[in-house]
Amino acid sequence: MSSDSFSFAMGEFTAEFPGDRMYVRNHMWALQTTGDRWRFGLTGYAVRLLQDVYFLEWTLEPVATIASRQLIGAIESKKAESDLYAPIAGVLVTINDACLTDPSIINADTYGDGWLFEIESKEVDSLLSPEGYQTHLVDAWKVAQRTIKGQANT
């Protein structure tokens, strides 16, 4: 593991994570772009579990004040349909229209062109450092494995 990235083994797959950003327990990354503005996207962990994202929709339009954990949209993939929740409170200032047009960008470049939205906020204490997110992944993977095994047995 280099200081500018880290990886996490998910069975036979290894998810990669840039070390230059913060993370959220709901498996999003956060990159400070300017001042109090943060760009968010799905982590490699989330994309791997979802597999082949093909639909994305937003329930809010920018500019909108949002609460932490407020429902802001939905995503569909080969493996799951999931609601998307605001990772922090603030003002939703922009969404990535390119992902609405072609959600496969999320699969192809989740840490680059596949970003989802930007929020302006000073309330970023809940964001996790790369090390904190690595610790969180250990517990999250245990839960994911139980869920996957439960689905396989139905």
Q: Residue 43 to residues 31, 35, 100: CA-CA distances in angstroms? A: 12, 23, 18
Contact 29, 23 (CB under 8 A): yes
Please give the structure tokens belonging to residue 119: 């929020």
Domain 5-137 fold: OB fold (Dihydrolipoamide Acetyltransferase, E2P) (2.40.50)
pTM of the full structure: 0.88
Query: Where are the domains positioned within the chain?
Result: 5-137
pLDDT at site 2? 40
Please give the structure tokens belonging to residue 25: 């327990």
pLDDT at site 80? 86
For the stretch 4-42, pLDDT in tens is 888 888 778 888 899 999 999 999 999 999 999 999 999
Paired strand residues for 128: 23
